[in-house]
């Protein structure tokens, strides 16, 4: 383990101890962070803590720096073969330089299948709420974000050795579904040949039919509108009333297991999910039928959930309904309506109890639109109050809503088609794939391209990977809480901070290794000599730490940023240091091994993001 452990992390830990030992009480609030040095002559890192400490202690900073250096090098830190004796510079900076052998040893320690990432010794699982589509409705860009970010967060946890449960909380139950079923059955639609577009229209029509315009009628009367307008609104409200009654009747039949209704309902789900999985597969996510646990699967627990809240006196009656109140907010959470119906929140209470208690999760992450923030705040607090967030061994499960922002069009408004309709997810993905295939095919026309002469189906597969990488990387590389502009031109560029750029960097490394032939399997000792080799080595050594932090903070963007710096740092290394053309055989072998390790880190990192890494581009 020590051989693998990132030497930078070891120095950081020792610095914290040294600053505490030298500064005593004065150490609190002093910045003990290592800063990468501006120039290679100043070593690899600079520590500036002596200046602040000197001021607080009323002592010359250079004296404090000397004491820090001694404390750092004290035998119990074991840094003797990791760094050279730190140098004191200027008013009291400490310049810290890692020993080249320490870098070489640490790199060798991470050069295996795990790439230095030790599995976490955690017995509980983690649940990720992903996708969350609604049955009978087209998947839209919002579900894209939940699917992409959710699946990647799951992969981050898996990569650090956690057991992960992806849970797809389908909207597959309740009045809107019953309404849609009713309207399809009434129109004697052929359920066999049903497709999602027809379903989507039926869903919308059923909603419209049942939506009266009570406010409109009141306003029309108050504003003394013409008798014709008032009569029209009255008629609309009357038929809405009829439609609502029919829908409620349909819901009762569905709930009581009426054969025709249930068969039709299953078909509805099947039609929707076939399409959803097409998108999930194209996106390369590990979301499959075994992740499905829709709202309907909790339907028989809802009465009991409400009872539990009533029994523990956490739910009270309010105008015939049952609500849970919170000390710190006005708005109560409704868990049973006056007519006895249950709500979205009631189902989420049951689902959360299941995730913590049955799936044994010490962390539950909801990757859902940021606009549902208040809902999850209520659900989490209610679960904590009633004790469902506590595991049998007393561990408090961490409940997190990872809310994401809206996908915007070029006009900075929520992404819409030219006719103002919501973008279908599949159309969006297809556009990206088309662009990817186009880019890859046109590059392959160049006789010098590594893809030149590949069969069309292989080029297409590479192009598909490029298009999907463009979309996913754009979604993952920013702060997920923020809105982002969907700009395919920028996302698909082979230059800049994009998915295709990283894929391209990876493919270039693959072709270098291919040229190296048998030599690529070298286990020659790493030799870290030039400044560019040092910078690349120091960066690669941060891989395990980066992965752990990305998983712990649920921030895939950290991994994106890291991989992007690996790709750019590799470019600087490659322009400064010949690899296959290096004359000295041990140097050539050491560099080939460094190229291979860089390639492995890029490939593993892209895989953890859920992005394909073609070997040729
Ligand atoms: N079906 C919901 C929607 O489209 C998302 C479900 C999110 N997950 C949850 N456990 N509530 O808004």
User: How many C-beta neighbours within 10 Å does residue 86 have?
Assistant: 25
Closest CA relative to residue 43, chosen from 372, 486, 493, 531: 531
Residue position matching structure tokens 């290592």: 34
What pLDDT is recorded for position 395? 97
What residues contact 252, with CB distance under 8 A and at least 6 apart?
none
Quote the CA–CA distance of 151 and 222 in Å, as a whole number.
Answer: 52
What pLDDT is recorded for position 79? 93
Q: Which two three-digit tokens encode residue 331?
A: 């708005």
Residue 263 alpha carbon to ligand 1 centre in Å: 24
Count of helix runs (H) and strand runs (E) in the chain:
21, 13
Residue nearest to ligand 1 atom 2, measured at CA: 132
Is residue 55 a part of any domain in this protein? yes
pTM here?
0.91
Residue 377 alpha carbon to ligand 1 centre in Å: 14
Work out the burial of residue 153: count CB atoms within 10 Å of its CB; fewer than 13 is exposed, 13-18 middle, 19 or more buried: buried
Quote the CA–CA distance of 527 and 105 in Å, as a whole number.
Answer: 10
Closest CA relative to residue 439, chosen from 481, 386, 495, 356: 495
Residue nearest to ligand 1 atom 5, measured at CA: 132
Q: Work out which ligand 1 atom sits closest to the CA atom of 142.
A: 4
**Ligand 1: which of 132, 380, 402 to mutate, most ligand atoms within 8 Å of CB?**
132
Number of domains the chain is built from:
2
Name 129's bridge partners. Answer: 167, 366
Decide: 169 in ligand 1 pocket, CB within 6 A: yes
Q: Give the DSSP H or E segment for 103.
A: helix 100-110
User: Distance between terminal CA atoms of the chain?
Assistant: 37
Is residue 61 a part of any domain in this protein? yes
Query: Can you say whether residue 420 is alpha, beta or left, with left for phi > 0 and alpha for psi between -120 and 50 degrees?
Result: left
Range(s) of the domain holding residue 183: 174-256
Residue position matching structure tokens 């956490």: 314
Decide: 368 in ligand 1 pocket, CB within 6 A: yes
Residue nearest to ligand 1 atom 6, measured at CA: 132
Final residue before a domain boundary, out of 200, 227, 256: 256
Decide: 294 in ligand 1 pocket, CB within 6 A: no
Final residue before a domain boundary, out of 98, 127, 145: 98
What residues contact 533, with CB distance under 8 A and at least 6 apart?
527, 573, 577, 591, 594
Is residue 204 a part of any domain in this protein? yes
Decide: 129 in ligand 1 pocket, CB within 6 A: yes
Instruction: Give the DSSP letter of residue 518.
Output: G
Vertex 484 angle, CA 482 and 487, to 5°: 170
Is residue 202 a part of any domain in this protein? yes
Q: Which two three-digit tokens encode residue 129?
A: 């709420």
Ranges of the chain whose pLDDT falls below 50: 1-3
Q: Which two three-digit tokens encode residue 212?
A: 């009266």
What pLDDT is recorded for position 429? 95
Helix axes 141-159, 556-576, angle to 10 degrees: 70
CA dihedral 226, 228, 230, 232 (to 10 degrees): -150
Residue position matching structure tokens 């992390």: 9
Is residue 520 a part of any domain in this protein? no
What pLDDT is recorded for position 2? 42
Final residue before a domain boundary, out of 206, 238, 256: 256
**Ligand 1: which of 143, 171, 361 to mutate, most ligand atoms within 8 Å of CB?**
171
Q: Which two three-digit tokens encode residue 72?
A: 């750092």
For 96, the 3-state DSSP assignment is: strand
CA 374 to chain centre: 21
Decide: 150 in ligand 1 pocket, CB within 6 A: no
Decide: 497 in ligand 1 pocket, CB within 6 A: no
Quote the CA–CA distance of 328 and 337 in Å, as a whole number.
Answer: 23
Residue 146 alpha carbon to ligand 1 centre in Å: 9
Is residue 603 a part of any domain in this protein? no
CB 591 within 8 A of CB 570: no
CATH number at residue 32: 3.30.1360.70
Residue 568 alpha carbon to ligand 1 centre in Å: 39
What pLDDT is recorded for position 3? 44
Residue 82 alpha carbon to ligand 1 centre in Å: 50
CB 117 within 8 A of CB 52: no
Is residue 205 a part of any domain in this protein? yes
Decide: 54 in ligand 1 pocket, CB within 6 A: no
**Ligand 1: which of 200, 287, 368, 404 to mutate, most ligand atoms within 8 Å of CB?**
368
Closest CA relative to residue 571, chosen from 526, 509, 483, 523: 509
């Amino acid at each position: 383990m020590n051989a693998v452990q990132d030497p930078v992390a070891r120095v950081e830990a020792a610095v914290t101890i040294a600053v505490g030992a030298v500064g005593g009480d004065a150490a609190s609030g002093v910045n003990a962070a290592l800063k990468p040095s501006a120039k290679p002559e100043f070593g690899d890192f600079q520590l500036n803590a002596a200046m602040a400490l000197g001021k607080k202690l009323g002592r010359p900073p250079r004296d404090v720096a000397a004491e820090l250096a001694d404390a750092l090098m004290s035998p119990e830190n074991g840094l003797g073969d990791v760094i050279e004796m730190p140098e004191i510079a200027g008013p009291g900076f400490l310049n810290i330089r890692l020993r080249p052998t320490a870098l070489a040893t640490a790199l060798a320690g991470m050069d295996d299948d795990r790439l230095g990432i030790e599995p976490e010794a955690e017995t509980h699982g983690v649940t990720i709420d992903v996708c969350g589509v609604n049955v009978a409705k087209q998947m839209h860009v919002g579900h894209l974000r939940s699917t992409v970010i959710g699946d990647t967060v799951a992969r981050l946890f898996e990569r650090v050795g956690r057991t992960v449960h992806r849970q797809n909380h389908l909207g597959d139950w309740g009045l809107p579904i019953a309404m849609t079923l009713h309207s399809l059955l009434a129109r004697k639609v052929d359920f066999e040949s049903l497709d999602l577009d027809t379903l989507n229209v039926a869903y919308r029509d059923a909603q419209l039919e049942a939506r009266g315009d009570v406010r409109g009628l009141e306003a029309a009367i108050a504003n003394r509108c013409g008798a014709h307008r008032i009569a029209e609104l009255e008629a609309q409200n009357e038929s809405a009333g009829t439609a609502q009654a029919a829908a409620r009747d349909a819901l009762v039949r569905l709930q009581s297991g009426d054969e025709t209704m249930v068969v039709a309902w299953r078909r509805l789900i099947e039609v929707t999910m076939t399409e959803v999985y097409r998108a999930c597969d194209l996106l390369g996510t590990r979301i499959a039928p075994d992740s499905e646990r829709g709202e309907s699967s909790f339907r028989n627990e809802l009465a009991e959930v409400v009872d539990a809240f009533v029994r523990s006196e956490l739910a009270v009656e309010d105008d015939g309904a049952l609500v849970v109140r919170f000390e710190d907010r006005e708005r109560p959470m409704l868990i049973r309506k006056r007519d006895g119906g249950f709500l979205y929140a009631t189902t989420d209470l049951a689902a959360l109890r299941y995730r913590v208690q049955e799936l044994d999760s010490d962390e539950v992450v909801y990757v859902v639109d940021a606009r549902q923030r208040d809902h999850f705040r209520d659900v989490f607090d209610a679960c904590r109050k009633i004790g469902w967030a506590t595991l049998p061994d007393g561990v408090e499960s961490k409940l997190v809503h990872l809310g994401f922002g809206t996908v915007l069009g070029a006009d900075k408004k929520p992404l819409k088609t030219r006719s103002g309709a919501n973008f279908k997810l599949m159309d969006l993905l297809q556009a990206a794939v088309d662009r990817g295939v186009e880019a890859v095919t046109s590059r392959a026309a160049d006789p010098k391209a590594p893809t030149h002469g590949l069969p069309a189906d292989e080029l297409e597969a590479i192009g598909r990977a490029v298009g999907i990488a463009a979309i996913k990387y754009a979604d993952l590389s920013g702060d997920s809480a923020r809105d982002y502009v969907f700009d395919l031109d920028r996302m698909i560029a082979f230059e800049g901070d994009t998915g295709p750029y990283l894929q391209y960097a990876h493919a270039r490394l693959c072709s270098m290794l291919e040229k190296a032939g048998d030599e690529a399997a070298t286990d020659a000792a790493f030799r870290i000599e030039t400044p560019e080799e040092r910078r690349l080595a120091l960066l690669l050594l941060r891989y395990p730490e980066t992965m752990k932090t990305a998983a712990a903070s649920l921030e895939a963007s950290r991994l994106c940023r890291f991989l992007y710096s690996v790709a750019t740092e590799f470019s600087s290394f490659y322009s400064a240091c010949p690899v296959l053309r290096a004359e000295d055989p041990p140097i050539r072998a050491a560099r080939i091994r460094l190229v291979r390790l860089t390639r492995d880190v890029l490939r593993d990192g892209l895989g953890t993001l859920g992005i394909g890494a073609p070997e040729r581009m």
